[in-house]
Amino acid sequence: MHLMYFTEQPMSAYPEQAGRDFGATALMLSNKHFDPVEGSRLYNNYIEQYMLAEEVGVDGIMLNEHHNAPFCMQAKANIFAALLAGMTKKAKIVMLGNPLPLAENPVRLAEELAMIDMISKGRLVSGFVRGGGQEQLATGVNPAFNRERFEEAHELVVRAWTQTGPFRFEGNHYQHRVVNPWAVPLQKPYPRVWVPGVISKETIIWAAQQRYPYIALNTSIEQTKKIWELYDSVAADVGYVGGPENRGYLIQVHVSDNEEKAIENARQFRWMQGEFTGLAHPVWSTPSGYGSPTARRAFVEFASGRASNPRGETSFEQQMADLRIIAGTPKTVVAKLKRILEETRPGILALWGNDGRVSQADSLTCIKLIGQEVFPAIREIAKSLDLKSPFEANAPVHLKYSTDLKPRKAAAAE
């Protein structure tokens, strides 16, 4: 079992009323409400949190990035990854992940990641994401080619990591006449790639085809099981058996030494007015061409205010009942997490410990309890359930490095 700590790095010092008055807290909420003095304080708070997480023995620190919104202060995950590469000693630096389509130059990305891997002495896990719809708009990237750019940039990054240069890359979206980075990853064949996601079937299928672990982000137990059903079926098609080493799960868990206080702080998981990623106009979060064409009709109904969110909207209480938010003392939290582990059998687990305006003192307490009490108990449970991480299972980094393939469909193996 690989156990990680995660925070969205909330910009908790923004004036909430400004967002309510504007009617949105993403993409277009003016950055006149961003106070860099508070920003400086918060970035340093987050460094303190990560250093404590390493000290109390987490296996990994999970990082991500978003743009133009108070729910996440990381505009470039590689910056924090580089800091942690130098400042920490043991924890894996797990990027979930770099939004590939936003890269205008994937070779630069490959270089940055290789540097992080070398500086950290081989502790990088280089996850990749498509980036949310509003990230495309915030960076001027065409949402209609999001998936094509994702797949093509992935190919270029992996080739830059593994193929001896100089070579030439002529793609549809990326053309590089001389690829020859003088920075290559320490880990061979290349750093592990994990792929997080929320809803797109296409991403689950793609991850399974690559044999990359898929990290389900805060899905319900039922949704998570459906994700593994699809993943395992694709895995069988290409010739391997999906298992815990292919499965990751991120869940919002706040731990405190006091039940009431834990629940009070856990309410902060809904601090962006109940939304996962801030209030946005639907056409910002799902620009045309970004989503699956099969969801087009349902989406336009929702976007025009004539149907409810196809992703569903649930209250704090409902999310607590569904175990999508867990809060309490280590004892209660471990009991609930045990149920999730038994039902969904992941080999990678990330606890999203603190959000919103939870104080730094309470955040540090949470991290300490996670590292000293929750994770040791989870490790025992994982052992009894035989939930092995990709590291413990020595899983291949990519399908093409597999030695155990028995493809159901011969042609799909390539």
Partner 1 sequence: MAGVDWTDSTVEAGGIKLHLKRAGPTAKKTRTIVVLHHETGTLDRLPFYDALAAHYDVLVPHHPGYSRSERPTWMRSVRDVAVVHRGLLSELKIKDAALVGLGFGGWIAAEMASMAPADLSHLVLVGAMGIKPPQGDILDLAITGYVDYARAGFHDQKAFDRVYGAEPSIDQLEMWDICREMSFRIAWKPYMYSQTLPHLLGAVRAPALVVWGDDDRVVPQSAAARYIEALPRAKLEIVKASGHCVDMEQPDALASLIVDFIGRE
Q: In the complex, which residues of this chain contact partner 1 (CB under 8 A)?
A: 27-28, 137, 140, 142-145, 281-284, 287-289, 296-297, 299-301, 303-304, 306
Residue 62 or 153 with smaller CB distance to partner 1: 153
Q: What single DSSP character describes residue 13? A: T
- Least distance CB 397 / partner 1 (angstroms): 32
- Least distance CB 170 / partner 1 (angstroms): 15
Give the count of beta carbons closer than 10 Å to the beta carbon of residue 186: 16
Which distant-in-sequence residues (6+ apart) come within 8 Å of 295 by Cβ? 310
350 vs 217: CA distance, rounded Å: 9
Residue 240 or 290 with smaller CB distance to partner 1: 290
131 vs 329: CA distance, rounded Å: 34
Residue 169 CA from chain centroid, whole number: 28
Tell me the one-letter amino acid at 254. H
252 vs 174: CA distance, rounded Å: 37
Residue 79 or 283 with smaller CB distance to partner 1: 283
- Least distance CB 299 / partner 1 (angstroms): 7
Q: Which residues are 295's β-sheet partners?
A: none
> What is the sign of the dihedral through the CA atoms of 210, 215, 217 and 219?
positive
Helix/strand/coil for 214: strand
219 is written with which tokens? 């899905």
- Least distance CB 280 / partner 1 (angstroms): 10
Residue 134 or 252 with smaller CB distance to partner 1: 134
- Least distance CB 284 / partner 1 (angstroms): 6
- Least distance CB 142 / partner 1 (angstroms): 4
Residue 302 or 391 with smaller CB distance to partner 1: 302
150 within 8 A of 128, measured Cβ to Cβ:
yes
Q: What single DSSP character describes residue 356? A: T
Residue 118 or 283 with smaller CB distance to partner 1: 283
- Least distance CB 289 / partner 1 (angstroms): 4
Residue 134 or 363 with smaller CB distance to partner 1: 134
243 is written with which tokens? 């298992």
With CA atoms as reference, report the closest residue to 349 among 4, 90, 95.
Answer: 4
